[in-house]
Amino acid sequence: MLPLPDTPYEAVIFDCDGTLVDSMPLHYQAWLASLAHHAAPFDFTEEYFYSKAGVREQDVVRELNRHYGSSVDPDSVADYKAALFEKMIPQVPEVRPVADFARAMHGRMPLSVASGSEEHIVRGCLSANGLLHLFDDIIITPRLVARGKPAPDMFLLAAERMGVRPEVCLVLEDGQSGIEAAKAASMAWAYIPRTLR
């Protein structure tokens, strides 16, 4: 059962990784392999990884560089990680309660995706699970906005493309940065816990 708020809504914005699809364990594997390949001096724990859910990879590396006083190339880490993860996409399962909710809402109200991952990764994960067609090609990624999560920019753009006011949107998110972004956009939100699989 999804933990949905009681507030009325007219459109739904879904995060992808950890919300629509259970890709986070594979993302973590790809992160570790990319950081090892780049000899990054980071203590990249699973707890830290999940705390950065929804945040663009390059921004995570920049933050770690500041913390560790290092100069690991953010784009190189992100590109290498993305290439590794792409090979794993066929293994990514859906998060069934969320995917079933998206299927049930399709055609009843506008739906979109706002993800911290690159667009081809999002499309690959959604396609692998037969979900891509549900979102009328409204897929918002950090490349389309000035600021990624936890800023509200991605969710505000999603609302604009769906043709609805931000105040009538419901956001489904598994990451704290996404919840902060939803609050900043004046949208209702539902937290999708890791236990909901």
pLDDT, tens digit (0-9, with 9 covering 90-100), for 74-86: 999 999 999 999 9
Q: What is the pLDDT at residue 146?
A: 94
φ, ψ of residue 114 to 5 degrees: the values are -130, 110
pLDDT for res 72? 97
What residue ranges do the domains of the chain occupy?
Answer: 11-23+92-191, 24-90
What's the fold here for domain 11-23+92-191?
A: Rossmann fold (3.40.50)
Q: pLDDT-derived band of residue 197, with 50, 70 and 90 as boundaries?
A: low
The pLDDT assigned to 46 comes to 94
Inform me whether the pLDDT recorded for 115 exceeds 90: yes
Q: From the candidates 6, 15, 73, 79, which is the catalytic residue?
A: 15
Same topology, domains 11-23+92-191 and 24-90? Answer is no
Residue whose tokens read 């609050």: 183
Dihedral sign, Cα of residue 30, residue 31, residue 36, residue 37: positive
Of the pLDDT bands very low, low, confident and very high (cuts 50, 70, 90), residue 192 is very high
H-helix or E-strand spanning residue 170: strand 169-173
Does the structure show a pLDDT above 90 at 194? Answer: no
pLDDT digits (tens, 9 = 90+) for 126-179: 999 999 999 999 999 999 999 999 999 999 999 999 999 999 999 999 989 999
> Does the active-site annotation cover 15?
yes
The span from the CA of 7 to the CA of 9, in Å, is 7
Is-above-0.75 flag for pTM? yes
Q: Class of the 24-90 domain?
A: mainly alpha
